Chains A and B, each alone.
Chain A
Amino acid sequence: MIGSPDVVAFTKEDDFGDSFSDPLSLPEEFSVPLFTHTANANPWTKTSFAKFSKDFILISEFSEQVGPQPLLTIPNDPKVCGTFDLNYFSLRIMSVDYQASFAGHPPGSNYPKLNFVEDSKVVLGDSKEGAFAYVHHLTLYDLEARGFVRPFCMAYISADERKIMQQFQELSSEFSKASEIVKLGNRKAFANELEKKLKDLEYTRSVLHKEAELQKMNNGCYSTQAIEKANELANMEKSIYEHKDLLRQITSYPSRKRRDMDFVECETEKQADTSVSDDALNGNHSEVAEKTDRKSSYTPQLIKAKSAKCFDKRLKTLEELCDSNFYHQTLEQLNVIEMTFRGDLCSIYTSQIDRALLSKQRVTSFLFEAECDWEDEGTSKNFNFTSNIPTVPVLHLSGEPLSLESYTTCIDLDHIKPGVESMEGPPESSTSDITQETSEAADTETKGSFSSDKSIEALGGVSPSSLQANYFDGLERKCKVSIASSFENASHSVAVPRRSSDGNLVPMDASCCIGQDSFVFEEPLPELAQECCGDTVVNQEPLSLFQGDTALQVNYIPEESALAESPNMGLTFSELNTCVLSEDVAKINIEDASDSTSYMSASTSSDRAVSPFTYGSVLTLKQKKKAGHSALRFIRQYPFAQQAIFCLLSGRTLVILGVDEGMVRKLVNALFVFVPNLGKYCETVQPWLSTPFQLTDLQRWKLIGLQRAASPAGSSILHSLNRYSRYISILDCDNKTLRCPPYRGTLISHLADHRTQIKRGSTYFLHVQGMLTQLTAKAFLYTFCHHIHLPMDINEQGSVKSRRTNFLLQLGYTVEESKIVQYLSELIKQHYVQGSSKWVKQSFCFNYTTSFLYKI
């Protein structure tokens, strides 16, 4: 029997085929290769045999003196073009006058005529050289040139033919902009040149006239010299007439074409010198002349009747042809084009698709997308309910279906937070390293807020009243814990509200709210596990260990019924937030805060260079991609990476504690891509903090880099850690430990598997991005899946809760993973209610889950 290994030996190309050539067999030049990728060829080699290293832009001219010649390349680096023959390629792309334009003396006409030809666009290639080009042909005017025209072209040269055709419309549109700029400048320069020439001609005419008069006086009218002078004068008259006609033509550039290039005019407004725009050119000739006179005091010169021979004169450079400002603006535009289209077509194409799809997902894209990707078409909540751009109505919890209009006013009021939240603006100091000073100010502000409102609220998925009930149910299980403290030996009791039999709230002992002094646990504490996640409202700030107050006045959130009855509550949430700052104001504050360095730790600025966060500037996709490398290293180095990521995804603030600022910042850099609702300016991340943080900081910051210092300030930092340790997770990068709630499930193991074979950070970032997209989709589904949020019975809140739980279980999520989806869902709801143009002010969210200590 002949087996496979026996046969394989024969499958190689061997000699017997070569010895005999069938005259009837098809020659290879008429055939197609059987295998698309033979020998060393592969899907990537198609573009690798070009003689240039990357795409570039070439400007060429068909010079009347030397023929086609390359003028400049963008980028202007000889390495980019390599050994690619620019002269040959210029010859190839300029060898045809595609515009078939005519200028000069048309047949049957006595005067030269300018033709305003439209640009032509050609895609061509040289398959042997592996060079393909989009070529944009344009014509500029030059008084000295033959026929007054100078043909130019701008070519985008790439090794990828598919890229040129696939991006044809975008390339065409961008090059048209560049062309319009250069042509506008050229028309201006041409008109100026004509003005000067006319002055010269008129001056020469007057001189000739005087000379002719003199000749007449001296030699009589019919002397040879007088006749010559008369002829010269006649020629001069004709020349003046011709030039006036040319000026008239250039100033009457068709208004239709001018309207097409409004954008150029807008751009040029910025320029310092815009003495003669097309509008001016279009106006009265004398007005133009006056304007020009005012701008430049040109002294007319005597000119010869005959111009220099073609090869004697120097042709103007492109910069001279189109005015320096316009020239530089054109180069700027070409640089933008080069940057936009450089790189791999797959990335360009996918990012275009991404943008198109993200524009339909405004309701969720704030969660994990860099804002510049999806905000380009305005950021208002201006959803179009009838168009193809899908929109999302808000949830409604009544049993009956509502009309679309009613959706907008039927807001889920569960999560409206008065008090602290409404008094707070967007994170003034959040994107900056905070100082002692600003911290104290914030502290005062916070205290002030609490003294007036005294309420802290956590997110919940159900109505406030039921949340309170859940909370108290949890508390009544008497979860007390006393932990040995390394800083404070005494345990303190603080009062938290307790529901009395008549339904009122009374102070109760709640030692469970005391900050845990030591965050290093060896064993989990099972009694502590009080599941209030997602359905909990905390009405009181945990008290400072240094505060003597044992009972605070509690200002409860309004009852649901009261909220429902309040007409204001039916309005948008942003109306309730009187302190909402615009992004600009936020930016200013950020800058202010970062300037006030009087109390800043000496090391705060030492590692800023490696930080992904450029304060006050928009976080870009590029920065996020770069962070992929750190993230990949993190998941490989830290076995508890999944737990850390779980904390971030579920909204639990993660504090990275360490002595070395660089180390802390690196970890922040590694993890910030997992923070939902990162914000345009990365508002939810505080990469380096050298002062104690407050509870309100936990509301705004979901990832904090915290300095560990052996100074008084350092002890107060640690104190704040202990104080709020139940609400946060702590990654100690000095001891390589993580204290956080446990995570069980497969979702994050797909996201952060330390055995992953992904080699590059950018690839890992793409993987993370994909997984987070999937997660976002599930959160969207959970949020807007009506039937799971609708009670069968008005009193049947419990069944809604269980239905939600079951729904998430059916989607395949564990309890912990469900928390992630629920948290994201809450953010989506808030985002919709608050308006998509604003950064979502996060609610303070925590749960009473036991924390574990993970070590390497």
Chain B
Amino acid sequence: MSAACPPQSPAVAKTEVLVEDWCPMLAATFAYWDNILGPRVRHIWAPKGQGLSLLSDGEVTFLANHTLNGEILRNAESGAVDVKFFVLAEKGVIIVSLIFDGELKGDKNTCALSIILPQSELSFYLPLHSVCVERLKHIIRKGRICMQKGYNIISMLSSEIVPIMELLTSMKKHSVPEEVDLKDTVLNDDDIGDSCHEDFLHKAISSHLQTCGCSMVVGSNPEKVNKIVLTLCLFLTPAERKCSRLCHPNGSFKYDTGLFVQGLLKDSTGSFVLPYRQVLYSPYPTTHIDVDINTVKQMPPCHEHTYHQRRYMRSELSALWRAASEDDISSDNLINAQDSYTPDLNIFQDVMHKDMLVKSFIDEVFLLKPGLSLRSVYLSHFLLLLHRKALTLLRYIEDETQKGKKPFRSLRNLKTDLDLTVEGDLNIIMAMAEKLRAGLHSFVFGKSFVTSMQERDLLMSF
């Protein structure tokens, strides 16, 4: 080896992350396959003051090395990120590893970014798996560019690993329970309008369902915020509820990408900063509900949301690629550098489409006597109806298009045949079907939307 590449010290660099509460993550590691030395751990992140008692650094290194075992056979396309998930009962841990290729010291290496949790947290972690993986995947995209450019990947990875540690810490204490008691929600009111205005409730639930059950509830009063959070969570599946968060009474939570419902408190001045990038990076569009002023706003439907999201991601990665030095790659600088893309900051719009499904449900559920579980049963009927309609719609489109082989051209027939002629109803059922079959919106509505976007871009370039 030349002097420029001294042998690495056996001691692995480590970052201790300060978190407010107990963090269920034991450690995160970045390892790579050294062509001479085999699997090597480059960096460890661990919550400060905890985790060490469970796993020593040596054990963490041993486990991280194991995540790369077998990857010598890896046969993936360049840029692909593969996910591996281990439950090692002998060690009492679960490991999530994202395997990717990157350039280190001029060589193409196989790398692994992993997070390690105790096995006891398996059921806590599983609903959050896709949230963590999607966020880590994007930071890996950025990390690969850093590696290519010879910049420090560790600081780039830290910018997402630390928030993920904070997310897991906050979810441990403040996630919504798997089963929500109707008594804690607006649906337990004696009469409609007792807690909040009838129209507001209808709009909130309808929009919440139209945006695939993804909502942020903002307000000044934590109790009020959490009541709406729990009410919206009634319309989610138990796994989705475990991926939702109540607001912290101290208001210390920030918006976290990927959660279904989250409560957020305004600051002392009554204002709330909406993180554009994070909201856009959410897998589904989001409904914004302000319980102080009873407003409901929603993002455009899935196909538009995905389009905007992809454009923003590409711009961000392009800006990073163009960055002249390591100093230019802070997120603020990146946003300023995006000269090719002007984000539409008015992403939250009024709820345009009224529905009948939620309207009749709200009207009817309050006819049942509160406190006797009657409303819970009625709610379960309503949810069953939505899920069944979503599956029917999905099968209808599959039949019509021979599972995507032909374009879908019979939306009008679909509306009539499935009794979805009211636009809001169709949006709700489409949103539920999107969760079953990702990309459905883009398949059904995407082409016309993309054409209109291309037209717009072309006109603007004249």
Q: Within residues 1 to 51 of chain A, which ones have a CB less than 8 A from any CB in chain B?
A: 2, 4, 7-8, 10-11, 24-26, 28-37, 42-45
Contact of A777 among B314, B378, B419 (CB under 8 A): B378
Known: A128-B77, A780-B377. A123 touches B85 (CB 8 A): yes
- Among B290-298, B346-354, B447-455, the stretch that binds chain A is B447-455
User: What 0/1 readout, one digit per residue, does chain A (348-370) give for beta carbons within 8 Å of chain B?
Assistant: 01100110111011011000000
In angstroms, Cα B383 to Cα A353, docked, is 9
In angstroms, Cα B231 to Cα A442, docked, is 55
CB distance from B450 to the nearest CB of A (A): 7
Write out the residue numbers on chain A whose beta carbons fall within 8 Å of the beta carbon of B405: 42
Q: Within residues 66 to 111 of chain B, which ones have a CB less than 8 A from any CB in chain A?
A: 66, 69-70, 73, 75-80, 82-91
CB of A486 within 8 Å of the partner chain: no
Interface residue total, chain A, C-beta cutoff 8 A: 97
Known: A172-B87, A753-B417. A32 touches B82 (CB 8 A): no
Known: A128-B76, A753-B417, A756-B417. A100 touches B90 (CB 8 A): yes
CB of A797 within 8 Å of the partner chain: no
Contact of A101 among B90, B413, B439 (CB under 8 A): B90
In angstroms, Cα B413 to Cα A172, docked, is 42
Q: Within residues 453 to 499 of chain A, which ones have a CB less than 8 A from any CB in chain B?
A: none
Write out the residue numbers on chain A whose beta carbons fall within 8 Å of the beta carbon of B318: 25-26, 31
- Is A98 a contact partner of B88 (Cβ separation < 8 A)? yes
Known: A767-B418, A777-B378, A780-B378. A98 touches B310 (CB 8 A): no
CB distance from B284 to the nearest CB of A (A): 13
CB of B388 within 8 Å of the partner chain: yes
CB of B313 within 8 Å of the partner chain: yes
- Is B387 a contact partner of A350 (Cβ separation < 8 A)? yes
Q: Within residues 419 to 462 of chain B, which ones have a CB less than 8 A from any CB in chain A?
A: 419, 436-440, 442-443, 446, 450-451, 454-455, 458-459, 462
CB of B200 within 8 Å of the partner chain: no
CB of B169 within 8 Å of the partner chain: no
CB of B22 within 8 Å of the partner chain: no
Contact of A98 among B86, B385, B443 (CB under 8 A): B86
Write out the residue numbers on chain B whose beta carbons fall within 8 Å of the beta carbon of A11: 451, 454-455, 458
Q: Within residues 348 to 401 of chain A, which ones have a CB less than 8 A from any CB in chain B?
A: 349-350, 353-354, 356-358, 360-361, 363-364, 385, 388, 390-393, 401
Write out the residue numbers on chain B whose beta carbons fall within 8 Å of the beta carbon of A7: 455, 458-459
Closest A-chain residue to B391, C-beta based? A350
Closest B-chain residue to A385, C-beta based? B373
Known: A95-B69, A98-B86, A763-B396. A32 touches B317 (CB 8 A): yes
Q: Within residues 384 to 406 of chain B, which ones have a CB less than 8 A from any CB in chain A?
A: 384-385, 387-392, 394-396, 398-401, 403-405
User: What 0/1 readout, one digit per residue, does chain B (124-154) give for beta carbons within 8 Å of chain A?
Assistant: 0010011000000000010011001000000
Write out the residue numbers on chain B whose beta carbons fall within 8 Å of the beta carbon of A390: 182, 373-377, 380
Contact of B367 among A10, A162, A357, A785 (CB under 8 A): A785
> Which B positions have Cβ atoms within 8 angstroms of A?
66, 69-70, 73, 75-80, 82-91, 122-123, 126, 129-130, 141, 144-145, 148, 179-182, 237-238, 306-307, 310-311, 313-314, 317-318, 321-322, 364, 367-369, 372-378, 380-385, 387-392, 394-396, 398-401, 403-405, 410, 413-414, 416-419, 436-440, 442-443, 446, 450-451, 454-455, 458-459, 462
In angstroms, Cα B145 to Cα A758, docked, is 49
In angstroms, Cα B80 to Cα A128, docked, is 9
- Is B382 a contact partner of A354 (Cβ separation < 8 A)? no
Contact of A350 among B76, B436, B446 (CB under 8 A): B436
In angstroms, Cα B389 to Cα A771, docked, is 9
Write out the residue numbers on chain A whose beta carbons fall within 8 Å of the beta carbon of B70: 92, 95-96
Q: Within residues 609 to 633 of chain A, which ones have a CB less than 8 A from any CB in chain B?
A: none
CB of A757 within 8 Å of the partner chain: yes
Contact of A361 among B145, B384, B392, B417 (CB under 8 A): B384
- Is A92 a contact partner of B440 (Cβ separation < 8 A)? no
Contact of B148 among A10, A30, A43 (CB under 8 A): A30
CB distance from A222 to the nearest CB of B (A): 52
Known: A43-B439, A354-B387. A35 touches B450 (CB 8 A): yes
- Is A29 a contact partner of B79 (Cβ separation < 8 A)? yes
CB distance from B264 to the nearest CB of A (A): 26
Closest B-chain residue to A91, C-beta based? B73
Write out the residue numbers on chain A whose beta carbons fall within 8 Å of the beta carbon of B395: 760, 762-763, 766
- Among A113-121, A226-234, A845-853, the stretch that binds chain B is A113-121
Q: Within residues 550 to 606 of chain A, which ones have a CB less than 8 A from any CB in chain B?
A: none
Closest A-chain residue to B95, C-beta based? A122
CB distance from B263 to the nearest CB of A (A): 21
Contact of A392 among B78, B374, B436 (CB under 8 A): B374
Closest A-chain residue to B91, C-beta based? A100
Write out the residue numbers on chain A whose beta carbons fall within 8 Å of the beta carbon of B443: 37, 42-43
In angstroms, Cα B318 to Cα A117, docked, is 49
Given A26-B317, A165-B126, A357-B383, 17 extra CB contacts under 8 A: A2-B462, A29-B79, A43-B439, A95-B70, A99-B90, A121-B86, A124-B85, A169-B122, A353-B387, A388-B180, A391-B377, A757-B400, A762-B395, A767-B392, A769-B392, A777-B385, A787-B367
CB distance from B282 to the nearest CB of A (A): 15
28 pairs, A vs B, C-beta closer than 8 Å: A29-B79, A37-B439, A37-B446, A43-B439, A44-B404, A118-B89, A120-B87, A121-B86, A121-B89, A123-B85, A126-B76, A127-B77, A128-B76, A165-B129, A169-B123, A172-B87, A346-B394, A360-B377, A363-B377, A388-B179, A391-B372, A392-B372, A753-B416, A757-B400, A769-B392, A777-B381, A777-B382, A784-B374
CB distance from A716 to the nearest CB of B (A): 44
In angstroms, Cα B76 to Cα A122, docked, is 19
Write out the residue numbers on chain B whose beta carbons fall within 8 Å of the beta carbon of A118: 89-90
Known: A25-B318, A126-B76. A766 touches B385 (CB 8 A): no
Write out the residue numbers on chain B whose beta carbons fall within 8 Å of the beta carbon of A101: 90
Contact of A357 among B380, B389, B390 (CB under 8 A): B380
CB distance from A114 to the nearest CB of B (A): 14
Contact of A34 among B314, B322, B380 (CB under 8 A): B314
- Is B90 a contact partner of A120 (Cβ separation < 8 A)? yes
CB of A404 within 8 Å of the partner chain: yes
Write out the residue numbers on chain B whose beta carbons fall within 8 Å of the beta carbon of A750: 419
- Is B385 a contact partner of A770 (Cβ separation < 8 A)? yes
Closest B-chain residue to A30, C-beta based? B145
User: What 0/1 readout, one digit per residue, does chain A (728-750) give for beta carbons within 8 Å of chain B?
Assistant: 00000000000000000000001
Q: Within residues 804 to 838 of chain A, which ones have a CB less than 8 A from any CB in chain B?
A: 811
In angstroms, Cα B287 to Cα A462, docked, is 47
CB distance from A627 to the nearest CB of B (A): 16
Contact of B455 among A8, A36, A404, A776 (CB under 8 A): A8
Closest A-chain residue to B340, C-beta based? A25
Contact of B388 among A91, A345, A354, A811 (CB under 8 A): A354
In angstroms, Cα B78 to Cα A773, docked, is 49
Write out the residue numbers on chain B whose beta carbons fall within 8 Å of the beta carbon of A506: none
CB of A692 within 8 Å of the partner chain: no
- Is B314 a contact partner of A32 (Cβ separation < 8 A)? yes
Write out the residue numbers on chain B whose beta carbons fall within 8 Å of the beta carbon of A125: 82-84
CB of A84 within 8 Å of the partner chain: no
Q: Within residues 125 to 139 of chain A, which ones have a CB less than 8 A from any CB in chain B?
A: 125-129
- Is A37 a contact partner of B378 (Cβ separation < 8 A)? no
CB distance from A549 to the nearest CB of B (A): 49
CB distance from A775 to the nearest CB of B (A): 10
Closest A-chain residue to B75, C-beta based? A128
Q: Within residues 154 to 186 of chain A, which ones have a CB less than 8 A from any CB in chain B?
A: 161-162, 165, 168-169, 172
Q: Within residues 781 to 803 of chain A, which ones have a CB less than 8 A from any CB in chain B?
A: 781, 784-787
- Is A350 a contact partner of B86 (Cβ separation < 8 A)? no
- Is A35 a contact partner of B446 (Cβ separation < 8 A)? yes
In angstroms, Cα B446 to Cα A356, docked, is 34
Closest A-chain residue to B72, C-beta based? A95
CB of A759 within 8 Å of the partner chain: yes
Write out the residue numbers on chain A whose beta carbons fall within 8 Å of the beta carbon of B91: 100
Known: A26-B314, A127-B82. A43 touches B90 (CB 8 A): no
